[in-house]
Chains A and B, each alone.
Chain A
Amino acid sequence: MRINPRLTDSFVRYFLNAQAMFTVGILIIIIFIIFIKGIGSCSLSFMLTYPEDMGRHGGIFPAVIGTLFLVVLSILFATPLGLGTAIYLTEYTKESRLTTIIRFGVESLAGIPSIIYGLFGFIFFVIKLRMGWSLLAGSLTLTIMILPTIIRTSEEAIKAVPRNLRMVSYSLGATKWETTVKVVLPSAAPGILTGIMLSIGRAVGETAAVIFTMGSSLRLPTSLMESGRTMAVHFYILAREGISMEKAYATALVLVASILAINIFAYYMMNKVTSKYS
């Protein structure tokens, strides 16, 4: 018997629609659960007070600061490196075997799982370079991890800048570097910022690469060489060791809310870019 193609078509339409709705539903359910269970013990004072008794009571202040320090440092290291690479690849060289090799390196870094970064950071920064479990070792490890994201998004943003903008600048006698800094980068800025925001989101949520390089000390880190704890690591320890489900949910809420806010802002920036050039 032959099934009517129109019937199949409308059936498939509903089926695919259901799949998409189901998937979005997963996201909504995750956010809903975290919000409902976490909102009770989450407040500004939760974020601003010190934890007591391994986090069973009190707040997550050192973890908030630890996350902030780690992310700011990683971005500070990774942005010049990543942006520099992107500028080199787009403005200073032609496509050649060399750029293929560099791109291969970037792609490979992007494919390496975070636990391998953790292993590497642990043996290289923590042990061989004698940094110990520290903010510095953690942020250097994360720098390498987020580098591919920054390179790729910056490269795309720079490539999207129209050629004639550069031509005008050159015809006015500007050097390559002057053109890059004064003409190309300002128009590529929103795209570059998108990449930075996505990297921040990734760094905030990272656990495996951080826990073995920055450690998990609950004290507030006061120097680069001290260990500290990020919100993600704190949440992992609270949940895994069953210290406090209530505090774990509250920490998860702060964590997820900040990551979602960062990502949504990144998409907003990206939309602005694509609507500008299309």
Chain B
Amino acid sequence: MRPVKAVIKERIIKQILTAFAFSSLLFLFLIFAFILIEGLPLFYKVGVQNIIFGMKWAPTRGFFGIFPMIVSSFLVTFGALVIGGPLGLGCAVYLAEYAGRRQRTVLKPALELLAGIPSVVYGFLGVLYIVPFIRIFFGGSGFSLLATSIVLGIMILPTVISISYDALMSVPRSYREGALAMGSTKWQATWRVVIPAAKSGILASCILGMGRAVGETMAVIMVAGNALKIPGGLLDPLRTLTSNIALELAYANGDHRMGLFSTGVVLLSIIMVLNYFANVVIKRNMSK
């Protein structure tokens, strides 16, 4: 028998650890609760359709339409995926299938370091190099959907690469060996056997990359131009949901501030839907 004191101590420690483990759930609850408490009343007051499908954002005059921002957020996310998706997948396939051991130990950490560069630095370099490049070669101000997509495309690379790399690596060796033994080339084995087997992980990497792009703020503020209308083309400026919050939160009051929280509610909903899909895709793969 252990002394009673030790048993009690163990029990207390377990209670404390349990409390710690629930803290994450508590924080998640608090975040949702406070964003919803601040953001939802305006939906009742102004009307859901006037916010979500409203075209005009003039919060001090009672217009809270964020439809152009919702569209813009989707456009930049799609643009980021078009630019970052294929590039990221290419890198992941190269790392997993083609790179030698030595090359991999250097390349993998280097690619992960891209995730460490702060978003303000991406935005800053975007303003100084990508925006002028677009202005000179394509016209317009340069602050545009195109510039934002390029910057975000680079920023989602680490997410896309690391998750699809893991998916490719988890394909059993025997699959590759089987294909190679049948006389296929490396690429035929990769394209016909390995990539289809890793399909859902690759899909999840793209969805999570989209989550990263839709939530990115500081870099987007710097290169997007922040205009309050739906961009008509690649060279038009735009304002996303995230930048709307960050641009105005510091000085907003009353209904105006509530409008920013309503923007937050919409953003949070989009993120939750994306995360849900990523989870479903990953789970489906695991059960297989």
Residues of A within 8 A of B (CB): 5-6, 8-9, 12-13, 15-17, 19-20, 22-24, 26-27, 30, 33-34, 80-81, 84-85, 87-89, 92, 101-102, 105-109, 111-120, 122-124, 128, 144, 147-148, 151, 175-177, 201, 204-208, 211-212, 232, 235-236, 239-240, 248, 252, 255-256, 259-260, 262-264, 267
Contact = CB atoms under 8 A, between A and B. Distances in A.
Contact of A113 (B222, B260, B267, B279): B267
A84 B24 CA distance: 11
Contact of A239 (B25, B94, B124): B124
Nearest to A236: B120
Interface in B106-126: 107, 109-114, 116-121, 123-125
B275 A107 contact: yes
B218 A207 contact: yes
Contact of A13 (B187, B215, B250, B271): B187
Contacts of B109: 264, 267
Given A27-B113, A81-B20, A176 B121 contact: no
Nearest to B186: A9
Nearest to A148: B24
Interface of B: 2, 6, 9-10, 13-14, 16-18, 20-25, 27-28, 30-31, 34-35, 38, 87-88, 90-91, 93-95, 98-99, 107, 109-114, 116-121, 123-125, 127, 129, 154, 157, 161, 184-188, 208, 211-212, 214-218, 221-222, 242, 245-246, 249-250, 260-261, 264, 267-268, 271-272, 274-275, 279
Contacts of A205: 116-121
A92 B19 CA distance: 12
Contacts of A111: 208, 211, 271-272, 274-275
Nearest to A201: B116
A20 B95 contact: yes
A252 B124 contact: yes
4 tightest CB-CB pairs across the interface, nearest first? A113-B215, A205-B118, A84-B20, A19-B90
A259 B117 contact: yes
Contact of A85 (B21, B31, B90, B186): B21
Contacts of B275: 107-108, 111
Nearest to B12: A177
B34 A124 contact: yes
16 contacts: A9-B186, A16-B93, A27-B111, A88-B21, A92-B14, A107-B275, A111-B275, A113-B211, A114-B215, A115-B246, A120-B34, A147-B27, A206-B118, A232-B118, A248-B124, A256-B117
Contacts of A24: 107, 110-111
Nearest to A209: B217
A204 B112 CA distance: 17
A85 B20 contact: yes
Contacts of A267: 109, 112
A80 B19 CA distance: 12
A23 B28 CA distance: 35
A206 B31 CA distance: 18
A116 B264 contact: yes
